């Protein structure tokens, strides 16, 4: 077993049927470093593993689905443990999707987690998932670039420590929330007040008795605003550029996710039409408080990348004036925050819930597989026409639930990879 801290790649000895190596997800692990690109090309090509980049839920699900089909998969995770992005989320976060529809392939989530699974339980589940399925995981390895192998039969990965790893296929699962994004607001660099991205926010304790401005009304911004109010902040303002669609997380026991699943394959115009009267019945008009009903349809916004805000207390907090809705931030000037209506406010802290970037340009941008917004041109079982064997999972934000779609994608990707491997060497794939 190679030490992942060793900058010199080492090769796992070829075997007729490579056995997965168990890697406890809760600790930094080392694992076999498969054949480097500099190895003689006489090495059997079918022994090259499928590399899965990213040890989050999407990457782990794909690794299991591949292993279940007899395909060796090696997960490369840049941090020292699986589920790194989930460990960084704020304390009160819970899945907005139900426990039953959030399980990954091959392992149910325990009933003790409750219907809406807490962040710490998600982390525990991911650790257990990796251990239960004996997934082959190498931590502390970050892949910086993926390109076709010299012989044209696989993929070459450039990784930390000078590693050059050759795989038969690659699954990119680095996550939708990869790199925090902060708009280039005028005067931001000169602002000396407390400023942080939502990715750095953990809980409301440091802001008790303080005036806080939360910028951005996605699910993260809405939930942090409520968290601050409940945690004793003296004043909470929520800066909104575009009024969101707000839905109840559950109505009379019917989870919003169920509706999302039903709507997944319906025409956009039909869903938009049906959503309007439902919204009027379930969500009060908050126009007087600064949150008017959106002009555009719910599903139209989803397909543009804007998921509805699930209510976890925002409606009540806005209606009672505990969360004040203010216009969008336009910039910073003389220690103040400038809003779109010209007003200048001076909060004690600014929390930017302004989203994340996928940050795929350095990794695969040179392969012409990204669209103009930096998103993969295909995902799931499909591969780009010019990059066969390169798969992407977890880069959409589906209305039916991220974990559910990751599970579905994992099975589809594994089936496609196994089918391709079977065509090349049928005797190597378990049926």
Would 303 be classed as within a structural domain? yes
Let me know whether 392 and 335 are in one domain: no
Please tell me the distance from the alpha carbon of residue 104 to that of residue 81, in angstroms, as a whole number. 18
Give the 3-state secondary structure of residue 332: strand
Let me know whether 225 and 292 are in one domain: yes
Percent residues over pLDDT 90 in the chain: 74
Sorting pLDDT into bands at 50, 70 and 90, what band is 425?
low
Would 106 be classed as within a structural domain? yes
pLDDT digits (tens, 9 = 90+) for 242-292: 999 999 999 888 899 989 898 888 898 999 998 989 888 899 999 999 999
Q: Is residue 342 over pLDDT 80?
A: yes
Q: CA angle, 408 as apex, 407 and 411 as ends, to 5°?
A: 90
Among 355, 380, 396, the domain boundary falls at: 355
Of 294, 320, 307, 324, nearest to 225 by C-alpha is 324
Q: What CATH code is carried by the domain that includes residue 80?
A: 3.50.50.60
Give the model's pLDDT for residue 46.
52
Would 66 be classed as within a structural domain? yes
What is the residue range of 366's domain?
A: 45-178+358-428
Q: Is residue 91 over pLDDT 70?
A: yes
Let me know whether 318 and 201 are in one domain: yes
Please tell me the distance from the alpha carbon of residue 210 to that of residue 347, in angstroms, as a whole number. 8
Contact in structure between 216 and 354 (CB atoms under 8 Å): yes
Q: Is residue 305 over pLDDT 80?
A: no
Let me know whether 197 and 285 are in one domain: yes
Let me know whether 373 and 339 are in one domain: no
Please tell me the distance from the alpha carbon of residue 51 to that of residue 422, in angstroms, as a whole number. 17
Q: Is residue 90 over pLDDT 60?
A: yes
Please tell me the distance from the alpha carbon of residue 73 to that of residue 82, in angstroms, as a whole number. 15
Count of structural domains within the chain: 2
Sorting pLDDT into bands at 50, 70 and 90, what band is 302?
confident
Cα 229 to Cα 26, 207, 236, 291: the distances in Å are: 34, 10, 7, 18
Q: Is residue 41 over pLDDT 60?
A: no
Let me know whether 240 and 208 are in one domain: yes
Q: Is residue 196 over pLDDT 90?
A: yes
Q: Is residue 429 over pLDDT 50?
A: no
């Amino acid at each position: 077993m190679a030490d992942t801290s060793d900058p010199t790649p080492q090769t796992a000895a070829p075997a007729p049927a490579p056995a997965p190596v168990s890697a406890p997800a809760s600790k930094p692990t080392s694992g076999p470093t498969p054949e480097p690109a500099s190895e003689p090309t006489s090495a059997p090509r079918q022994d090259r593993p499928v590399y899965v980049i990213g040890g989050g839920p999407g990457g782990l699900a794909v690794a299991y689905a591949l292993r279940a089909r007899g395909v060796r998969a090696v997960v490369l995770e840049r941090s020292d443990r699986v589920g790194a992005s989930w460990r960084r989320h704020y304390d009160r976060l819970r899945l907005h999707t139900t426990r039953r529809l959030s399980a990954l392939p091959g392992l149910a989530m325990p009933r003790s987690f409750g219907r809406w699974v807490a962040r710490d339980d998600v982390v525990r589940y991911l650790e257990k998932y990796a251990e239960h399925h004996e997934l082959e995981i190498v931590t502390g390895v970050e892949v910086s670039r993926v390109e076709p192998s010299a012989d044209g039969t696989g993929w070459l990965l450039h990784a930390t420590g000078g590693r050059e790893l050759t795989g038969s296929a690659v699954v990119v699962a680095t996550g939708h929330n990869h790199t925090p994004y902060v708009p280039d607001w005028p005067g931001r660099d000169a602002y000396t007040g407390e400023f942080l991205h939502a990715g750095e926010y953990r809980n409301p304790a440091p802001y008790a008795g303080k005036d806080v401005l939360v910028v951005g009304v996605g699910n993260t911004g809405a939930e942090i605003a409520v968290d601050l109010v409940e945690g004793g902040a003296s004043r909470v303002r929520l800066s909104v550029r575009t009024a969101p669609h707000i839905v109840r997380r559950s109505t009379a026991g019917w989870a919003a996710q169920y509706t999302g699943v039903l709507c997944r394959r319906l025409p956009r115009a039909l869903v938009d039409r049906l959503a309007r009267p439902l919204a009027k019945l379930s969500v009060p008009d908050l126009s007087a408080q600064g949150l008017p009903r959106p002009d555009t349809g719910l599903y139209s916004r989803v397909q543009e990348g804007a998921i509805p805000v699930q209510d976890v207390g925002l409606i009540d907090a806005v209606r009672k004036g505990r969360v004040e809705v203010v216009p969008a931030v336009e910039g910073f000037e003389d220690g103040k925050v400038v809003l779109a209506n010209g007003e200048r406010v001076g909060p004690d802290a600014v929390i930017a819930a302004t989203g994340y970037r996928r940050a795929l340009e350095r990794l695969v941008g040179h392969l012409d597989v990204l669209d103009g917004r930096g998103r993969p041109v295909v995902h799931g079982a499909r591969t780009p026409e010019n990059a066969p064997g390169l798969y992407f999972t977890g880069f959409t934000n589906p209305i039916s639930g991220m974990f559910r779609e990751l599970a579905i994608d994992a099975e589809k990707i594994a089936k496609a990879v196994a089918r391709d491997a079977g065509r090349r060497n049928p005797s190597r794939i378990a049926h």
